[in-house]
Structure 1
C-alpha cells in the first residue's frame, strides 16, 4: 500500500489527466500539495518505480499506467452521486409506463452515452420464459424479406431472410402461416426444436420448394432464439478523444466494434459493477470497460460503458448503478 501522501499524489495525477489528457508535471503538482518540489519529485519517482505512473515520449510530465488506474479505482476513488440533471433524465425513462423494459434499458443507456461521451452497450438475451407472441414478414423483393418477431415481453427483433431458388409468393405465404401457427406461444429456447420436428415435416408435405424455404426461415428464427442482441450508442464518441487521433488506432477500434467476438468481450454474468482497464479487457488496450449484468422479468443481459482509460470512473459507475437499480425495481 502507498502512504497517504503518495495516494494523494497519485489521485492528483490521475484526476488531472482525466480532465486534461495532458501529462502532469511536478511543477503543477507542487501548487496543489503542501510540500516542497523536491519531495514531490521524490514521491513521483517512487510511484514511477512502482509502475503506477509513466513518462510519455512527448512530455516531461507523467501519466497514469494501467496499474496506476487500477490502484486509483480500487483504493482511492470515491463513489460519486449523480447530480439532479443526470438523475432526472434517467428517471423520466424508467417512469414512462409506455416503454417495455428492453426499450427503457436501451434509451437510458443512450442518455448515459450522451452525458458521458462514452460508448454505451446493451447486450440482451431473452431468457427461456419469453414466448413468441407474433411473427410478421415484410417482403423486400422476390427472394429477400425481413422477418419480425415480437415476444410476450414486448421485445422486438428482426432478421433478414434470403431464399435460394425460385419460389412463388403463395408458397412463401403458406410457409409463413405454418411457422406462425406453430411457434406463436412457444418459449424462445424451444423454437429451434419446434422448427425442426414440427414445422419441417408439414412444410415438406405441403410446400413444393420446401427445402429452400425451410432453410431460409430456420436460419432466421433459430438465430433469433440462440443469439443475444447487441445495441451500441455513441460508437463515434471515442474517436473524438485525443487517444485516437492516430488514423490507424481509429481504424483498429472501429474494426473491434464490428468484430463478431465483441459480444464475448462485453458479456458478463457478474452481478457487481466491474471495471476492466486497458490490457485487462480484450477489446483495445487504450480503452476501459465498465460493465454489469441485469435480470428482470425474463430479460437478462449486460450493460456496459466503453471509454478512454482516463474516463471518469466514479461517475460512470454511478450512472450504471442507477440504471441497474431501476431495472431491478
Structure 2
C-alpha cells in the first residue's frame, strides 16, 4: 500500500500530466500538494513510486510521468467523481432540449457533441433490436418504372430502398401485397415478421401479383437492414491529435475497427454498472493498446443493451470524463424510452 503522501504525489502527477502533457518535476509538485516538505523529500517519494512501477522517467526531462500501472492504481483507488463545468452542462441541456425524429438522430448528435466537448473519439451503439416492431410499409412512385419502398419501425427509424418494376408492370399491382403486409405484419417484432416471410402467401395474392416472392425478398432485405447493428462515431479525426508514431496502415485498420459494430461490442467489453476503463494493453484489441477506452452499457427496459464509449489518450482526465459519461448515459436512457 502507498502512504498518504505517496498517494497525494501520484494523484497530483496524473492530474498535472493530463492537463499539461509534460513530465512533472518536484518543484511544481511542492506547489500542488501544499505539504511542508522539501524538494528532496518529494524527489525521494517519486523515486519510490518509480521503483514500484507507478511512475516512469522521460528521457528529455528530470520529471516523471505516470506508467500504465500508475494510471490503473489511480483509477482503482484515487479517482474521485469530477464536477461537470457549467458551460458543459449548458451544452448538454441544449442537445437534449430538442426533439429527435429517430434514435439515429439522437446518437449522432450525442457522439458529436461529446466529441466536441472532450476532443476525443466517441462511439455509440444503440440497443440491440430485440423488440423493435414494424410500424408501417409503403411504396412511393418516383419516375417511370422507378419506385421507393419505405419501412418504418417502432423506434422511429425509416429505412428505404429504390427498385425498378419489370417492363409492363405497374405499382398498382403491388398494392394488394402492401395491404397484406400492413394488415398482417404491422405491430409484430421485426424478427418475427422476417420469419413469417418464408410462409405461403394467400392464393389471391399469388394470382394477382407477378413474382410476389421477389417483391417479398425486397421487403425482407429492407426489414433486415432496419435492425442492422450500427456504430455512431463522433470526432473520427480527433484520434489523430493524440496518436504518435503510428503507421498509416495501422490508422486505417483502427478506423475499420471503430466502424465495425460486432468488433466494437467485443472491444468495449461489459461491466455490470459504472464505467469500464481499459488502459493501454488492457484493451483486448492490439489496435487500441496506445489508448484508453472508457465504456459503459445502457439498457432500455424490456429491450437490449446499448454501448457508449470514449477513446482517448492514456493521460486523459479520468475523473471528468467518467462524470460526463455517467451524466450522458442517464440522459440517453431517458430520451430513448420515448422511442421503445
Q: Shorter-chain TM-score category?
A: 0.7 to 0.9
RMSD of aligned Cα (Å): 3.8
Q: Given the two structures, how large is their TM-score scaled by the length of structure 1? A: 0.79
**3-state SS of 2:198 partner:** helix
Q: Deviations over 1:244-270 (max 9, x none)?
A: 364445444323323451233236473
Residue in 2 aligned with 1:292? Answer: 296
Contact 2:53–2:70 (8 Å) recurs in 1: yes
Residue in 2 aligned with 1:90? Answer: 92
Q: How far is the alpha carbon of 1:128 from its aligned partner?
A: 3.6
Which of residues 264, 276, 279 is equivalent to 1:277?
279
For structure 1, which segment, 197-206 or 107-116, has the greater mean C-alpha deviation from structure 2 after superposition?
197-206
Q: Deviations over 1:133-157 (max 9, x none)?
A: 1235689999999865322232x15
Q: How far is the alpha carbon of 1:43 from its aligned partner?
A: 1.9
**3-state SS of 2:90 partner:** helix
Q: How far is the alpha carbon of 1:124 from its aligned partner?
A: 0.8
Contact 2:114–2:234 (8 Å) recurs in 1: no
Tell me, yes or no, if structure 1 residue 262 matches structure 2 residue 264.
Answer: yes
Q: How far is the alpha carbon of 1:232 from its aligned partner?
A: 1.0
Structure 1 CA distance for aligned equivalents of residues 198 and 149 of structure 2: 18
Residue in 1 aligned with 2:326? Answer: 321
Q: How far is the alpha carbon of 1:99 from its aligned partner?
A: 5.3
Structure 1 pair 318/250, CA: closer, same or farther in 2 (3 Å)?
same
For structure 1, which segment, 201-210 or 116-125, has the greater mean C-alpha deviation from structure 2 after superposition?
201-210
Structure 2 CA distance for aligned equivalents of residues 169 and 180 of structure 1: 25
Residue in 1 aligned with 2:338? Answer: none
Q: How many aligned residue pairs are there?
A: 324
Q: How far is the alpha carbon of 1:130 from its aligned partner?
A: 2.8
Residue in 2 aligned with 1:120? Answer: 122
Structure 1 pair 49/184, CA: closer, same or farther in 2 (3 Å)?
same
Structure 1 CA distance for aligned equivalents of residues 283 and 205 of structure 2: 46
**3-state SS of 2:127 partner:** strand
Tell me, yes or no, if structure 1 residue 16 matches structure 2 residue 20.
Answer: no
Counterparts of 1:124-203 in structure 2, within 5 Å, are: 124-125=126-127, 127-135=129-137, 148-154=150-156, 156-158=157-159, 167-168=166-167, 170=169, 174=174, 177=178, 179=181, 182-197=184-199
Which of residues 286, 305, 310 is equivalent to 1:305?
310
Residue in 2 aligned with 1:236? Answer: 237
Structure 1 CA distance for aligned equivalents of residues 2 and 254 of structure 2: 35
Structure 1 pair 64/251, CA: closer, same or farther in 2 (3 Å)?
farther
Structure 2 CA distance for aligned equivalents of residues 169 and 120 of structure 1: 50
Q: How far is the alpha carbon of 1:297 from its aligned partner?
A: 5.8
